[in-house]
Structures are given as C-alpha cells and as structure tokens.
Amino acid sequence: MHLHKYEKIWLTFGIGSLVLFLAVLGVAAFAFGQQPPSHMASVDSQNLEDTVFAEPGLDQINEDTYRARIVALTYGYSPDTIEIPAGSTVIFEVTSQDVVHSFTIPGTNVNMMITPGHVNMTEHTFTEPGEYLVICNEYCGTGHHYMQMKIEVTP
Amino acid sequence: MLQSNLAYKLPLTEEPAHVASKDAKLSFVHVVVAFFAFLIGILGGLLQGLARGGIIELPAWLGYYQILTAHGVLLALVFTTYLIFGFFFAGMSRTHGAFSDRLRKMGWAGFIITTIGTLMAASMIIANEASVLYTFYAPLQAHYIFYSGLALFVVGTWVAGAAIMAHYFQWKKEHPGEPTPLFGFMATATLILWVVAGLGVAATVLGQMLPWALGMTDEINVLLSRTLFWYFGHPLVYFWIMPAYMVWYLVIPKVIGGRLFSGSLARLAFILFLLFSIPVGFHHQLMEAGITEFWKYIQTVLTFVVVVPSLLTAFSIFATFEQTGREQGGKGLFSWIKKLPWGDVRFFAPFMGMLVFIPAGAGGLINASFQLNAVVHNTLWVVGHFHLTVGTTVILTFFGMAFWLIPVITGRRLTKSMNRSGMVTTWLWTIGMFLMSGAMHILGLFGAPRRTAYTTYQDHPQAMSWFEGIFASHITVAIGGVILTAAGILMFYNFIYLAWFAPKGETEFPMTPDPDDTPHTPALLENWKLWIGIAVVLILFAYTIPIYDMIVNAPPGSPAFNNLIR
Ligand code: HEM
Ligand SMILES: [Cu+2]
Ligand SMILES: [Cu+2]
C-alpha cells in the first residue's frame, strides 16, 4: 500500500502527539494518583441500615479533614446539608439506596456516578466560604430535577 | 501542497449503474420511516429546549422525560438506523448489482421485524410506561413491551444486515481474486461492527431486563447492565459515523467531479474503526464505582487509537478535494478551493458537516481524557458535543445524501429550487446548532446538568446564572432550538417533495470511479476472518477480567423501580 509523503508526515505527527498525550494521562493517573472515582467497595443497597451508611453524616478525621457518608435517594440526599469550616478537605463516600444517581458539585471537579450496590469516593478541599450546591445529574425519575443538597462552608 | 496523483490520466468512465427498481422500493420504505421519525423527534427537541429554558410549561399529560425518551430513541436510534439501511440497500444494488429475490425478501423481513419493534417501543413511550430515556439504565424499569420492542428492533437490523452482507460475499465469491467494490467493503465493515456491538445490548435486554421486567427474576446486576449497554453504546456512534464517511469517501469525490484519492487507505481506515470502536465502552463509565482505574485506563488508550483512522480520513478527503480542484484548473496554494461546487447541496451540506467535525472531534478528545471527564461528565457539554457529532456532522451528511438518494429511488429529479431549499436548510441547521450547541458546551462547563427538566434548585444563585448569561444561557439553547426546528421542518418538506412531487426523471447515484490504486489493494485487507478474529481478541482482552469481576464480586442486585418514571 502506497503512502504519500505528506500523509506519512501527517500520520507520524498525529500518532506521535497521541502517544505523548496518552503518556501524560497515564503518568498523571498512576504516578500522581489523579484517578477518576473508581472505588471498589460494595454494599447491599436494600439493607443500608446494616452498613456504615445506617447513620449517614459528617465525621471529623483530623483537624481539617472530614469524612462525609452520604446516601443518595429519590429525590435528595441524606443528610441534606453539611457544614464545614473553610479550608477543610472532605472525603465523600456516597452510595444509593435505590436507583442510579450522581453526586455533583457544579464549579468543582466533584462529579461522580452513584450506582446502587457500590460506594463511590472522591475528595475536595473547600477553600472559599459559601453555600455550595450539590445536584444529581443522572436521570433518576420524574423528580430528578428537584434532587439537591447543600454544603455550607463557613468562614 | 502538491499532489502528484495519476487520477486525471485515467478516463472517468462509468458503468451504466442503476438501483434495481425492486431494491429501490425496499430502500424507499426505510427512508420514509426515517423522515417521519425525524419530524416527531425534532418537535420533541423543540419542546425540550423551550421547557428547559422556562419559556413554556409542558401540559400535565406530557412529561419532560417522556419527550426526552422519544427524542433520543426516534433520532439517535430510529432515524439514523433506517436511513443507513435505506442507503445501504440502494448502494449495494447500485455497486453490486440487483439483490436476488431471496436476499431481498430477507431485507423486507428485517424491515418488518425492525418496524414492529419500533412500534412496540414507541407505543410504550407514548403510554408513559417507558420514560427511561434511550439508555434505559436499570434499575429504573420500563414496561416489558418496551424491552421486547428494543430486542426486535436489534434482531430486525441483523436480518436486514445479513441480507446485505450475503449480497457482498456473493459478489466476492463470483469475482475471486478481485478487490471487492468499496461500497460493499465499507458497508460490510459497518454491519459487522453493528452485529458484534449489538450482542451487548441483546445480552442485557434479553438476559437481564426482559426476565426482570416480566417478574421472572427479582433483581438485576446494575453495573453489568450498564457495562453491556456501553459495550454497545460507543460502537453505536461509529455505526452512525461510518455511513457518513462512506458518503465522504465514495459520493463526494464524484459530486465534485473527481475520484477518490486512495482505496486502500479507505479500507484500512474502516478496518481500524471496526477494531477499535468496540473495546472502549468504559470511557462512558469513567466516573463510576466498581471498575478499576487500570481497566478504565486501558480502554481509554484503546479509545484514542481511533484518532489514527480519523486522521487517515481527514487526509484522504482533503487530498481528494485538492486533487479535484487542481484537475479543474485551480492553481496556487489555495485557489483550487474555488473550484469546488459550493452551490450544490449534495456537496455543501456534507461539507458543513465535515467542518463541524473539527471542533466536535476536539471536544470528543476532551470527553475521553480520563481525569478531565469529571468536569464534563453528564453536563450539558456532552449534549452539546453529540449534537455536533451526530446531530450535525452525520445529520448534514445525510441531508446532503437525501437530495440525490430520494430522487434516485423514486425516479425523480433534483430541481434547482429544491437545491436552493437544501442550501437554506443547511445554513439554518448550522446557525441553529451553533447557538444551541455552543451554549450547551459553555453551560456544561459551568456545571449545568443534562437530562434535567426546568429547575432553579430553589433559586440557588449558581443555577440562576445558567439562565442569565448573555450567550451561555438556557435561553440561547431555546432560540437555537427554534431555528433548528425550522430547519428540520424545511428538511421534512424537502423530503416530501423529493419523494412524491418532484418531476420524474433520471438521477445519478454519485459514486467515485475506482481510485487508481485499486488493482494494488493488499489482499490482507479483504481477509475478514482475520479482522473479526482480531476484533474478538481485543474485546476479550478489554472486557473479560472486569466483567468477570462484576459478576463474581457483584453486590446484592437491585429490585425494580417502575413507579419513579410515571
Ligand atoms: C430541532 C433539532 C433538535 C433540538 C431542538 C434538540 C434539542 C435537544 C435538547 C434540548 C436536548 C437535551 C435535553 C436534556 O438533556 O435535558 C436534546 C437531547 C438529545 N438529542 Fe437533540 N435536538 C435536536 C436534534 C437532534 C438530532 C438530529 C439528534 C440525533 C440524531 C439528537 C439527539 C439527541 C440525543 C441522543 C439526546 C440525549 C437524550 C438523552 O439524554 O437521553 N437531537 N436534544
Ligand atoms: Cu437524578
Ligand atoms: Cu463513546
């Protein structure tokens, strides 16, 4: 098969940048730990009262780190508000008691799918005080557009 | 850039080629279903745009998510699939000779099964028993008739696809040692992709959802069903784009009065699409639990391999343009561009589609970029993205195709005024999409969710800002939607006119003469067993371990939630 000279240049350049790009993604992921939320723990979505999600809410882990265990449900989250001081890092552990939802804080990189039976995890440091909106961006039924909670970040 | 290609030394001869009239009829019924689905689909799109923008309120008997389900199913599945099969039946008849009666009957059987499936699914959507959107994620549960309809839809396309592939392989058998006609080669690659991908959706619908909706099983493995869906869902987008590429590779060169640059490169590109568009579904599941980072990354790497055939395609198409422009006397670096037939809708509409594919493809790279996906996943950005790719690149290419395909199969002529009407349609669609999709992209970056009815989240300032931007606003989306709908209705009118009212006459099915490298087509490229084998190996590599893990380490399954969708 004949390749035109310009085609060779074009493909070499294209494939070269592709390899470089994938290497950058790979290094960011596996050397610097910038991974998409892919937690492997599972739970029984129909019996959350027998799990660590029996009493969802906020735990302080150390001075400025918290763990928020949150249950997504049609159409809201439990708890529906959490409050933390500015500068805190929050580790979110979220699961669903019914259908598929998401846990999304617009304006941040917190955006993960919440599938029943699985616990998904991510973390975020809230530097600016204010009232953060949490929404569900996966269709979960006729009331999907009402599903929200709040994170109060106090100064 | 100077091309030294021999094309102009070969005569641009053409065998007298027709679409056999019985095949034309089979093609025509597909096109008719496609355009009626299109009309209903875009009216749904209009309502969505207006409702989300808070400009209208939907009546109580019509749900936002019900319309959205219809919109997705009718446009992304029904319109595209029917038009593609209409194109394939006509094109195969034109390039491989008339179908045998046996194979044509099989084609009709496929059409009938697919259509029964479509009507079953549609009736459940209308009855509000299936507002689960076109991705039907469990454990939201639709009526079992909806799932049965989907299964019939897929099976019907397999039957029709088998007829087309059998026609191709028969030609191959009758012409041993000859390279097969490009049209048949490309259609076959597309259909193999469709069949292999369809196995995933058939597995989840028949193996998981239907028994569960019928009450035969109590629980469903949600992650597995999502994975099987996306095993199908990504190749689905290639099932749309490959026929559009066929128009670019095979039809456009003839429309502009030239010849395709290289046949072998075209074949290679299609084989690469076949190999690398299936083992990549995880890039739609990057944000979910239960799949390890490792397998997500592997599939991300495989995803990006499609850059290679995309580059091949871009090169081939522009080389063909340049070669043709120069043959017709275009000189200098760029003046050949002036020689292209800008006023011909058969060229201009697909060309606008190609142009849009440049930013659309760049957006796709962002979506698939592993960590970056968190910023855009399930936001309006994604909706903006696929309204550019399928909603503009593919759609405008199909619009352009309609202006010769319909007259060919109805024995009519494309008139000057129809051509003008097509040009207006193309401009309106492009402008409408610029507004709608542009605003969706930016809103998505600001976090506005997709698949969400009108809401201000109790007047939260962040959600309010999505209505208040000058360009980045749900209002812009709605305005773009109105313009698009106008374009769509005009296109429907064009279809009606071309199908039943245009003056009778002969119309050419434009098909590039064989590229001059045809005699040197490497036999390897035609070795289908080899390519299917490699495709299977890649799929097994990318999916075996994660799917095994999903089954063996599955959490307790989910019961049905069917009250939430009414
Ligand atoms: C008049 C033209 C169109 C308009 C006004 C329009 C409008 C819209 C809007 C506003 C949404 C997003 C709703 C949401 O996420 O809440 C949407 C979704 C969608 N559109 Fe369109 N659209 C049009 C044409 C098309 C075409 C031609 C296609 C494909 C061939 C298409 C495929 C889709 C798909 C697949 C979805 C996603 C459905 C889902 O999320 O379940 N649209 N459209
Ligand atoms: Cu939701
Ligand atoms: Cu994809």
Give the torsion sign (CA, B365, B369, B372, B375). Answer: positive
When pLDDT is cut at 50, 70 and 90, the band that residue B356 belongs to is very high
The 10s digit of each residue's pLDDT in B491-519 is: 999 999 999 999 999 999 999 988 888 88
Choosing among A43, A122, A138, which should be mutated to test the B contact, i.e. which has the most B CBs within 10 A? Answer: A138
Mean pLDDT of A77-91: 96
Is the Cβ pair A25, B268 closer than 8 Å?
no
When pLDDT is cut at 50, 70 and 90, the band that residue B327 belongs to is confident
Q: How far apart are CA B169 and CA B187, in angstroms?
A: 12
Give the torsion sign (CA, B409, B412, B415, B421). Answer: negative
Ligand approaching nearest to the C-alpha of B240: 1
The residue extents of the domains of chain A are: 1-34, 38-154
In the predicted structure, residue B15 carries a pLDDT above the cut 60: no
Residue ranges of A 3-22 with Cβ closer than 8 A to chain B: 3-4, 6-7, 10-11, 14-15, 18, 21-22
Res B223: pLDDT: 97
Pair of tokens at residue B174: 């009758």
Nearby residues for ligand 2 (ion, Cβ within 5 Å): A 136, 140, 144, 147
Residue listed under structure tokens 């088998």: B162
Q: How far apart are CA B59 and CA B41, in angstroms?
A: 18
Say which of A10, A100, A106 has its CB closest to residue B315: A10
Residue B68 · residue B133 · CB < 8 Å? yes
Tell me which chain A residues have a C-beta less than 8 angstroms from the C-beta of B315. 6-7, 10-11
Tell me which chain A residues have a C-beta less than 8 angstroms from the C-beta of B469. none
Among B28-42, B308-322, B359-373, B532-546, name the most confident range: B28-42
H/E segment holding residue A71: strand A65-73
Q: Which amino acid, one-letter code, is at A154? A: T
In the predicted structure, residue B2 carries a pLDDT above the cut 50: no
Res B8: pLDDT: 37
Is the Cβ pair B558, A117 closer than 8 Å?
yes
Res A2: pLDDT: 67
Mean pLDDT of chain A: 89
Residue B365 · residue B457 · CB < 8 Å? no
Active site annotation includes B386:
yes
Q: Which of B65, B451, B454, B493 is catalytic?
A: B451
Q: φ, ψ for residue A60 (rounded to 5)?
A: -90, 130
DSSP string covering B308-363, please? HHHHHHHHHHHHHHHHHHHHTT--TTTGGGGGS-TT-HHHHHHHHHHHHHHHHHHH
Residue B56 · residue B50 · CB < 8 Å? yes
Pair of tokens at residue B295: 């397998």
Give whole-number Cα distances, B442 to B141, B448, B482, in Å. 33, 9, 19
Tell me which chain B residues have a C-beta less than 8 angstroms from the C-beta of A133. 457, 460, 462-463
Residue B319 · residue A4 · CB < 8 Å? yes
Cα B303 to middle of ligand 3, angstroms:
8
Radius of gyration of chain B (CA): 23
DSSP string covering B11-27, please? ----------HHHHHHH
Closest listed residue to residue B448, CA positions, set B475, B429, B479: B475
CB of B172 closer than 6 A to ligand 1?
no
Say which of B286, B379, B517 has its CB closest to residue A36: B286
Among A25-29, B206-210, B299-303, name the most confident range: B206-210
Active site annotation includes B234:
yes
Q: Is A70 near chain B, with CB under 8 Å?
A: no
Q: Which of B71, B96, B234, B441 is catalytic?
A: B234
Residue listed under structure tokens 């869906």: B229
What is the three-class DSSP state of B401? Answer: helix
Ligand approaching nearest to the C-alpha of B279: 3
Q: φ, ψ for residue B558 (rounded to 5)?
A: -105, 140
Q: Which amino acid, one-letter code, is at B260? A: L
Tell me which chain A residues have a C-beta less than 8 angstroms from the C-beta of B450. 137
CB of B444 closer than 6 A to ligand 1?
no
Beta strand segments in chain A, E: 57-62, 65-73, 76-78, 81-85, 88-96, 101-104, 111-114, 120-126, 130-135, 148-154
CA distance A116 to chain B (A): 7
Closest listed residue to residue B508, CA positions, set B445, B414, B367, B398: B414
Pair of tokens at residue B541: 């590599």
Pair of tokens at residue B96: 């491989």
Residue B537 · residue B282 · CB < 8 Å? no
Active site annotation includes B387:
yes
CB of B131 closer than 6 A to ligand 1?
no
Q: How far apart are CA B506 and CA B275, in angstroms?
A: 39
What is the three-class DSSP state of B220? Answer: strand
Res B18: pLDDT: 84
Q: How far apart are CA B52 and CA B375, in angstroms?
A: 22
Is the Cβ pair A34, B453 closer than 8 Å?
no
Closest listed residue to residue B239, CA positions, set B183, B285, B278, B210: B278
When pLDDT is cut at 50, 70 and 90, the band that residue B9 belongs to is very low
Asked: is B21-453+460-552 a CATH 1.10.3720.10 domain? The reply is: no
Active site annotation includes B238:
yes
Mean pLDDT of B226-243: 96
Mean pLDDT of B284-301: 90
Q: How far apart are CA B462 and CA B363, in angstroms?
A: 24
Q: Which of B107-121, B248-262, B365-379, B534-548 has the lowest mean pLDDT?
A: B365-379
**CATH code of the region A38-154:** 2.60.40.420
CB of B72 closer than 6 A to ligand 1?
yes
Mean pLDDT of chain B: 93
Q: Is A34 near chain B, with CB under 8 Å?
A: yes
Pair of tokens at residue B49: 């745009």
Which residues does A22 contact at the CB level (< 8 Å), separation at least 6?
B300, B301, B304
Residue listed under structure tokens 């084609």: B107
